[in-house]
Amino acid sequence: MKVGGVTGSLAVVGLGPGPACWLAPEASAVLEAASDIVGYQPYVDRVPERAGQRRHASDNRVEIDRAKHALTMAAEGRHVAIVSGGDPGIFAMAAAVLEAIEAGDPEWRALDITVVPGISAMQAAAARLGAPLGHDFCAISLSDNLKPWSIVERRLRAAADGDFVIALYNPASKARPERIHDTFALLREVKSATTPVAFARAVGRDDERIALTTLAEADPAAADMSTLVMIGSSETRFIDRPGQTPWLLTPRSYGVGR
Amino acid sequence: MKVGGVTGSLAVVGLGPGPACWLAPEASAVLEAASDIVGYQPYVDRVPERAGQRRHASDNRVEIDRAKHALTMAAEGRHVAIVSGGDPGIFAMAAAVLEAIEAGDPEWRALDITVVPGISAMQAAAARLGAPLGHDFCAISLSDNLKPWSIVERRLRAAADGDFVIALYNPASKARPERIHDTFALLREVKSATTPVAFARAVGRDDERIALTTLAEADPAAADMSTLVMIGSSETRFIDRPGQTPWLLTPRSYGVGR
């Protein structure tokens, strides 16, 4: 799409959870072809360097500024890839880019923009755990940087009312360690104490760590910002395996045999 | 893991939504190495043929039989890949395999079993639509083969109470065309008539089709079994683009400016 007489593009690219084996071929091809890579430093560092390609790494708290910078370069005719961990559509850069477009230069709406999907943290966690997402589920971010905590509480209660499996993103940060504590406290009021809970940390990376427990026993300190916390429905259960962590299963049926 | 003196394995592999550009390298490698490919015929057909590799294609309604067959071959020392569209953990084969293990031969628990994640239909749909999953969301299957319709209704109401974005899988089949009709009727009671709705059909395949509308205008006949239906939260909105389908954005913030 021509903007101001030049032809640029912006791809919002999901890098997946970390390892190259989970990076989609479309993402690899777009990253290889891009003139400019934009993103939070640790994500930019994951992209193989290529001669002639420019790299623009930034801090984590400036998604909108990063999106505007990428859009400005695309409008100048550059072929820009803006990178996210996981899937850019799930608690990542796709929304920030569209927010910047909505509020920004009207010419940006005519740019050639694509979103390149990736495997998200809950999927990597689910793969290691067995089949916790085998039935209906919710994904909730516990980050309250941009939303009031009251909407998180409302959604946690609704997720319990609906007996959904719950995947919790951004469960804790140094600034707000109490969020996951408050979440467990709320869920203990409305869900069974024996509900399975999994902490899946840095899945696919060298420091991967999986821990299973129950809602009654779940320790908020087990979650950091690299952890995906999975909370079962009333149907979710453990399947023991000799010498290994049990599998976690949410069966395809509901209410069978009860 | 040795079972009965032999060493077999079972990988539950996600093929993604369809195109090779969305098939993760781990999935490609596992499919290439497998001695046996098991799955629903159209998924098996997607796997490139390799000399010496055996293919076992089956009908769609026999997930448990297919899982047992795969486990039996793995226990005999074969290296089996059982394939799903999308992500095997999301409304696909991972749960069926673990259900078969739970109810089956105790030796199966000692098998070398891995789940290989893939990009799911809601992510491909979200990529085409812009950023509809930019905030908390639910995924609900409207298939009632294995669950009572009452739990679907309960979850739809809970998803509306929580003001989640809702991704609907399996919205319609020839046998049950009324499910998506009933879903829209229920949601119209509890959500705004102007709520954005998207029909994302066969994303990534030749017959891909995207349609945007509102909850008031949504036509149940627009959904078939290849369609992912996305229903916005109160924050989800359209962003117009010149000469193209508008973007769909659920912003990262909640309740800002209201």
Tens of pLDDT, residue by residue over A116-149, are 999 999 999 999 999 999 999 999 999 878 889 9
HSE at residue B51, side-chain half, CA atoms within 13 A, is 0
Q: Is the pLDDT of residue B3 over 70?
A: no
Q: Is the pLDDT of residue B60 over 80?
A: no
Q: Taking CA A243 as the corner, what is the angle to CA A240 and CA A246, rounded to the nearest 5 degrees?
A: 30
pLDDT in tens, A77-121: 999 999 999 999 999 999 999 999 999 999 999 999 999 999 999
pLDDT of residue A5: 55
Q: How far apart are CA B158 and CA A155, in angstroms?
A: 9
**Rounded mean pLDDT of B106-121?**
97
DSSP 3-state of A2: strand
**Rounded mean pLDDT of A29-40?**
97
pLDDT band at B74 (very low <50, low <70, confident <90, very high): very high
pLDDT in tens, A2-17: 455 558 999 999 999 9
CB contact under 8 A, A89 and B252: no
pLDDT of residue B112: 96
Closest Cα of chain A to B46: distance in Å?
A: 16
Closest Cα of chain A to B167: distance in Å?
A: 10
pLDDT of residue A57: 92
Return the exposure string of B210-228: e unless at least 16 CB atoms fall within 10 Å of the residue's CB, then b. Answer: eebeebeebebebbeebbb
**Rounded mean pLDDT of A236-257?**
92
**First-to-last CA distance in chain A?**
58
The secondary structure element, H or E, covering residue B117 is: none
Q: How far apart are CA B76 and CA A77, in angstroms?
A: 58
Lowest mean pLDDT across A39-43, B176-180, B187-191: B176-180
Write the residue in A97, A117, A155 that is nearest to B119 by C-beta: A117
pLDDT band at B6 (very low <50, low <70, confident <90, very high): low
Q: Is the pLDDT of residue A257 over 70?
A: no
Q: Is the pLDDT of residue A68 over 50?
A: yes
**First-to-last CA distance in chain B?**
58
Q: Which residues of B touch A95 (CB under 8 A)?
A: 131, 134-135, 249-252
Q: Is the pLDDT of residue A176 over 60?
A: yes
pLDDT band at B1 (very low <50, low <70, confident <90, very high): very low
Q: Which residues contact B218 (CB under 8 A, 6 or more apart)?
A: B184, B197, B199
CB contact under 8 A, A29 and B21: yes
Q: Is the pLDDT of residue B240 over 70?
A: yes
pLDDT of residue A97: 98
Q: Is the pLDDT of residue A40 over 70?
A: yes
Q: How far apart are CA A197 and CA A212, in angstroms?
A: 6
Q: Is the pLDDT of residue B217 over 90?
A: yes
Q: At what angle do helices A149-161 and B149-161 cross, to 10 degrees?
A: 170
Order of strands across the sheet that contains A79-84? A54-58, A36-40, A79-84, A9-14, A112-116
Q: Which residue of A has its CA nearest to B115?
A: A127
CB contact under 8 A, A155 and B164: yes
Q: Which amino acid is at B43?
A: Y
pLDDT in tens, B136-169: 999 999 987 888 999 999 999 999 999 999 999 9
Show the tokens assigned to A203: 């899945």
Q: How high does pLDDT run on average in chain B?
A: 94
CB contact under 8 A, B98 and A249: yes
Q: How high does pLDDT run on average in chain A?
A: 94
pLDDT band at B186 (very low <50, low <70, confident <90, very high): very high
Is there a contact between A105 and A35 (Cβ–Cβ < 8 Å)?
Answer: no
pLDDT of residue A4: 52
What number is the ipTM of this complex? 0.96
Closest Cα of chain B to A132: distance in Å?
A: 7
pLDDT of residue A1: 45
Percent of chain B with pLDDT over 70: 96
CA distances from A224 to A174, A227, B24, B168 (A): 8, 5, 27, 31
**Rounded mean pLDDT of B82-93?**
96
CB contact under 8 A, B118 and A119: yes
Percent of chain B with pLDDT over 90: 87
pLDDT in tens, A53-67: 999 998 766 899 999
Q: Is the pLDDT of residue A69 over 90?
A: yes
pLDDT of residue B53: 97
CB contact under 8 A, A24 and B20: no
Q: Which residues of B touch A157 (CB under 8 A)?
A: 161-162
CB contact under 8 A, B134 and A89: yes
Show the tokens assigned to A155: 């959604």
Is there a contact between A232 and A195 (Cβ–Cβ < 8 Å)?
Answer: yes
Residue that has been written with the tokens 């979650």 in this structure: A223
DSSP class of residue B90? S
Please state the pTM of the whole predicted model: 0.96
